[in-house]
Chains A and B, each alone.
Chain A
Amino acid sequence: MKKRLRLALLLLPTLALAGDKLDSGDTAWMMMSSALVLLMTPAGLALFYGGMTRSKNVLNTYAMVFMAFMVAFVAWIVAGYSIAFGTASSPAVQTVIGGFSNMFLNGISWKDLSGTYPTYVFVVFQGTFAAITVAIASGAVIERIKFSTWLVFVAIWTIVVYAPITHMVWGGDGALLFDAGTLDFAGGTVVHMNGGLAGLVLAVLVGKRKGYPTTAMKPMSVMLTALGGALLWFGWFGFNGGSAFGANSVAGLAYLTTTLAPAAAAITWVLIEYIIYKKATLLGGVSGLVAGLVAITPAAGFVDVSGALIVGIVGSIIGFFGVAVLKKKLGYDDSLDAFGIHFLAGLWGALATGFLAVNDQDLLWDGPLKATGDRMGQFMVQVESVVVVGLFTLIGTVIVYFIASALTGGGRIDEESEQIGLDEVTHGEKVMNL
């Protein structure tokens, strides 16, 4: 009960009790973590996605990710943070959202603390999460979604879909999935399942690229993608490490799992490619890496070495299946595999946490496993969380897309523009002038 209360205090930033003092180690770490996670969007993800795009659309892909951060973060301050981490006065409302009393960070002072570091830092940290979640979805609709529609979608989705989901999982006492005892260390459900499924929804609503799947659509530069992947990994130390909310041993555990699982995942993907295609590609190595990173995200501070290896290896296999088999079978154009990798590996990680989390009272946040050692019960809580998040994202994304599309006169670019390329048509720029 004490642990739960402490966690609730971390997540209810309007309270700064006399007992909580600013710890400079924790503060420095959370500030650095925020910077690391920021790096993941306009550098890591942008390069990761950009490199896989056809050269006539590379800048557009990059811009979608880059500007998604800008718009999402502002939306976060306007209302996202309040909805996610505020406390609604009515318990019924608090189940789903945290209310609007902290819009524009109203009621939060620069001196307030969330645990042992400034609340403002917590706001930034969580805001970088909001930004990368929505940016993930862009990969599914590259080369054909209208730029204006995308930006409007980002603004609304952050507030209407991301923030409530964040609240339900991490929002403190009274929040639906938080109360149920969901274990999601850094966002397997909140970030990866969420962003990945939103991507699939968009891919289906906006439609396939012209010529898909028979026309060759080759990545401009696998090297840029690999660089992006490496930057994502670097930033992920802040993503998972910072989700310990302090410079402490739990962060140390997250560091270990966040290095080990992705490494095993990358090896797995490369091996699978070699076995099936006789060629192990660099793109495969990077894809495996990301699948492993995604899979370990909900489990990073809950599993041990064996758990990390299992999460990484199986996460990679599942990601590979999603990319090489499922996509072809079902025929949707999830161009950069937002669903194939982020959703599926995130789903696996979220469920795997249920049966791989170590039964350690100092690691577990809450839930049946911690309370009574009920592992099956914990697994069912994880299932509940993925179902609730999945449904909320699915329905919410459909609604938000239709609104964004209506506000911008249609979400898809015209055929001629698609043929010419968005860098020229939308941005008037060329990625390279040699």
Chain B
Amino acid sequence: MKRIEAIIKPFKLEDVKDALAEIGIEGMTVSEVKGYGRQKGHSELYRGAEYVVDFLPKIKMEMIVDGSDVEKVTAAIVEAARTGKIGDGKIFVSDIEQIIRIRTGETDTEAI
């Protein structure tokens, strides 16, 4: 069981969600985050006072998949989220020790 964590540009959320739905991934957790890598921030202007904002808004998507699905899931995310410009984001894959579905008590692969 693997956790796939993807940081993407916010406007790409719908595209990635649709692409994942097409390959059978129907569940995920999405949060609004801020961050930066190589993409420069933007500046805001209030009455002549300029603020350089380094942190950019991003979307973090988290989903748990079976180990065998990792490759097709990451490929789908990369294809849907890529714009070719700096700031497209990153995907992190890590191991999951245990899963429990709260309603039924199912565990591990049955709970994916």
Contacts and interface: CB of A to CB of B under 8 A. Distances in A.
Interface in A195-251: 213, 216, 218-219, 222
Interface of A: 52, 213, 216, 218-219, 222, 273, 277, 279, 281, 283-284, 287, 320, 323-325, 328, 337
Interface string B40-72: 000011111111010000000000000000000
A285 to B, nearest CB: 11
A283 B51 contact: no
B51 A218 contact: yes
Nearest to B52: A216
Contacts of B45: 273, 277, 279, 281
Contacts of A323: 47-48
B47 A337 contact: yes
A284 B51 contact: no
B40 to A, nearest CB: 17
Contacts of B49: 213
Contacts of A324: 47-48
B47 A216 contact: no
A287 B47 contact: yes
A284 B44 contact: no
Interface residues of B, number: 9
A165 B53 CA distance: 45
Given A219-B46, A222-B46, A273-B45, 8 more contacts: A52-B46, A216-B51, A216-B53, A218-B44, A277-B48, A283-B47, A287-B47, A337-B47
29 contacts: A52-B46, A213-B49, A216-B51, A216-B53, A218-B44, A218-B46, A218-B51, A219-B46, A222-B46, A273-B45, A277-B45, A277-B48, A277-B50, A279-B45, A281-B45, A281-B46, A281-B47, A283-B46, A283-B47, A284-B47, A287-B47, A320-B48, A323-B47, A323-B48, A324-B47, A324-B48, A325-B48, A328-B48, A337-B47
A279 B51 CA distance: 14
Nearest to B44: A218
A219 B46 CA distance: 8
Contacts, number: 29
A287 B48 CA distance: 11
Contacts of B51: 216, 218
B99 to A, nearest CB: 31
Nearest to B47: A323
Contacts of B50: 277
A283 to B, nearest CB: 6
A222 B45 CA distance: 11
B45 to A, nearest CB: 6
B55 to A, nearest CB: 11
Contacts of A287: 47
Nearest to A341: B47
B53 to A, nearest CB: 8
B39 to A, nearest CB: 19
A279 B46 CA distance: 11
Contacts of A218: 44, 46, 51
Contacts of B53: 216
Contacts of A277: 45, 48, 50
Indicate the member of B45, B48, B49, B53 with the most A CB atoms within 10 Å: B48
Nearest to A287: B47
B18 to A, nearest CB: 28
Contacts of A325: 48
Nearest to A321: B48
A302 B13 CA distance: 59
A279 B44 CA distance: 10
A203 to B, nearest CB: 15
Nearest to A286: B47
A405 to B, nearest CB: 29
Interface string B20-52: 000000000000000000000000111111110
Nearest to A324: B48
A88 to B, nearest CB: 43
Nearest to B51: A216
A277 B49 CA distance: 11
A281 to B, nearest CB: 6
A211 to B, nearest CB: 13
Closest 10 CB pairs of A and B: A324-B48, A216-B51, A323-B47, A281-B45, A283-B46, A279-B45, A277-B45, A219-B46, A323-B48, A283-B47
Contacts of B48: 277, 320, 323-325, 328
A147 to B, nearest CB: 25
Contacts of B44: 218
A142 to B, nearest CB: 14
Contacts of B47: 281, 283-284, 287, 323-324, 337
Contacts of A337: 47
A292 to B, nearest CB: 15
B50 to A, nearest CB: 8
